[in-house]
Structure 1
Amino acid sequence: MRRMLQANTSWTEQLHSVLWAYRTSVQSSTQETPFRLTYGCKAMIPVEIGQPSWRKVRAKQEGQESNDDALKTDLDLIDEIQVTAQCRELVAKQLLAAKCNRQVRPRSFNRGNLVLRRADISNKNAKDGKLAANWEGPYRIKERLNGGAYILATLARKPVKRTWNTDKLKIYHS
């Protein structure tokens, strides 16, 4: 985005270079480039095609047949590379899930507890703007349902129309 703004061009002109950068960058979850996962070998950047590079010199020294054999070997190994990348991605997902689960604070309320409920956007008055109250209440927990849902009642014991989830409630300290 920054590059597009600096060059003052449309995004379609920059798309090719952005996609090339993405496809040749090592992804943190798989430890591989998308190009290598697709084609089985490392991408050769455009500069390497015009200038002599270690890979091109080695291919010339070993001969065309040897280079073809190396490419065939890379294609034979692509399944192993993909399986390894898939395992790494699974481990990365598990680590991320564990990190997120450590930060979750489970909350539950007992019958009769006083709670505040999150103010719905639909219930907020437009003239109040951003200074409107974010919490409404207090309400009393009438019943606990499965999955963290609660039936609320007003202090006058009138039931509230719909159920409320734990993440939309907080304890009322009087």
Structure 2
Amino acid sequence: MTPRTATQETPFVLTYGVEAVIPAEIEVPSGRVQHFVAQDNEEEMRLNLDLLEYRREETTTRMAKYKGQVARYYNARVRSLSFKPGDLVLRKNSVSRTTGTGKLDPNWEGPYVVREADRAGYCKLAHLNGGIVPRTWHNSNLRFFC
């Protein structure tokens, strides 16, 4: 019954096109209950159903705007990181699964040398002795090795 932040509407309104009145609200005098007129209600219900598609489109636009705001907020704190061929990196141990991922096991493996890198941040890795590491075109699980 609470309007969501992203949509500014309640899920009930978006589904059925009308606000719901909970049983507790009927017994307690409120503006919605005191000003209820049965004859006008039928006309208002039809109008709400006619405008439901417009209301949903408006909500979709509001939700996209909200998601953009959230993305900008979090992306403002993201530090972009690009790798170049020859950089030494560590790879997250959970990606390769060569060793166990227990509590006391290391979180990172390597160091590896970046063999190729593209603009999106994906890297092809190689061992220090020159052997290529299989299945290494990924970007989110690497860290610079210092």
Q: TM-score, normalised by structure 2?
A: 0.78
Q: Give the AA of the match of 2:86.
A: G
Residue 169 and residue 56 in structure 1: after superposition, are their counterparts in 2 closer, same or farther (change >3 A)?
closer
The 5 A counterparts of 1:35-114 are 35-50=12-27, 53-60=30-37, 64-114=38-88
Residue 146 and residue 162 in structure 1: after superposition, are their counterparts in 2 closer, same or farther (change >3 A)?
farther
Instruction: Tell me which structure has the larger Cα radius of gyration.
Output: 1
Q: Which has the higher contact order (CA 8 A, sep 6+)?
A: 2
- Offset, 1:46: 0.7
Indicate the percent of aligned positions where both proteins have the same amino acid: 37
- Offset, 1:162: 3.1
For the aligned residue pairs, the C-alpha RMSD in angstroms reads: 2.6
Paired residues of 1:141 and 1:152 also in contact (CA < 8 A): yes
Query: What's the counterpart of residue 27 of structure 1?
Result: 4
3-state SS in 2 of match to 1:160 = coil
CA distance, structure 2, for counterparts of residue 86 and residue 164 of structure 1: 35
CA distance, structure 2, for counterparts of residue 125 and residue 87 of structure 1: 46
Flag the structure with higher helix content: 1
Residue 79 and residue 159 in structure 1: after superposition, are their counterparts in 2 closer, same or farther (change >3 A)?
closer
Bigger drift between 148-157 and 26-35 goes to 148-157
3-state SS in 1 of match to 2:91 = strand
3-state SS in 2 of match to 1:142 = strand
Paired residues of 1:116 and 1:139 also in contact (CA < 8 A): yes
Paired residues of 1:107 and 1:166 also in contact (CA < 8 A): no
Q: TM-score, normalised by structure 1?
A: 0.68
Aligned length: 145
